[in-house]
Amino acid sequence: MYINVSVTTRASKNEIIRIGDNTFKVYVTAVPEKGLANKKIIELLSDYLKVSKSLIKIKAGATSREKLFEIA
């Protein structure tokens, strides 16, 4: 399964908002440096979707605000 994620970094709180079937808006408090924000996004998605973090991979947009994730 693939999901599209729009990310806002340096937010006041960590939050996931479902926009559509496979589209999410994610707010993270982490800064977009050294992959810290991406790690936090994967952690939040793991909790939200109730899957292991190892099953979530970034397929596109690792350095972009618009990301495509694959959930195995």
Give the CATH fold of the 2-71 domain: Conserved Hypothetical Protein Mth637; Chain: A; (3.30.1200)
Asked if 44 contacts 60 with a C-beta cutoff of 8 angstroms, the reply is no
Alpha helices in 1-67 (DSSP H): 36-49
Q: What is the pLDDT of residue 19?
A: 95
> Rounded to an integer, what distance in angstroms lies between the CA atom of residue 52 and that of residue 49?
9
Helix extents (H) in the chain: 36-49
How far, in Å, CA of 7 to CA of 27, rounded?
A: 6
What's the predicted TM-score (pTM) here?
A: 0.90
pLDDT at res. 70: 96
Per residue in 19-70, pLDDT (tens digit) is 999 999 999 999 999 999 999 999 999 999 999 999 999 999 999 999 999 9
List the domain boundaries for the chain.
2-71
pLDDT in tens, 4-19: 999 999 999 999 999 9
- In this prediction, residue 26 carries a pLDDT of 97
